[in-house]
Amino acid sequence: MKKWILTALLVTGVYTAYQQNPQFLDKLKPALPAELALEHNGATADGSRISAAYSHQLSDIQVGGSGRVIKVLPDDTKGSRHQKFILKLASGQTLLVAHNIDLAPRLPDLQIGDSVAFYGEYEWNKLGGVLHWTHHDPAGRHIGGWLEYRGRRYQ
């Protein structure tokens, strides 16, 4: 009975603190490494934010940068359709881009060697990571991302 009462008090306290200050829960999250602090909407000129997310095996990190296309993959047509390609960043790290073409226009005539700038959400994997959310969110609940290719922004 005592555990139940203590649990109820704890939940009530957290809920009350959240109602008074929604950022309260952010203080309960573990701190990110310093090199992952947001700079210029997640973009760093040298890709250090992506390198840090990769080395710390972190996901759900907003990142930006640019790279050269080293492989164009077939579209993923299961569920939401995604244009897929692999970028090589200046650091040498590779990054799989999964660009939702049901929500944003396809990058036309994408070729090996083309330069693509990006802003989206990084997901860790042992091969270098995956970039997604490179488009707007129709529901407005997620930060919008984009790809820039041949002087045009795709979002």
Give the CA count within 13 Å in the CB-facing half-sphere of 98: 14
Determine whether 29 is exposed, middle or buried from the number of CB atoms within 10 Å of its CB (0-12, 13-18, 19+): exposed
Instruction: Give the residue carrying structure tokens 């009350």.
Output: 16
CATH classification number, 33-154, choose in 1.20.120.330, 3.90.10.10, 3.40.50.1360, 2.40.50.140 = 2.40.50.140
pTM: 0.72
For the segment 33-89, what is each residue's pLDDT rounded down to a tens digit? 544 544 444 444 446 789 999 999 999 999 999 999 999 999 999 999 999 999 999
Does the pLDDT at position 31 exceed 70?
no
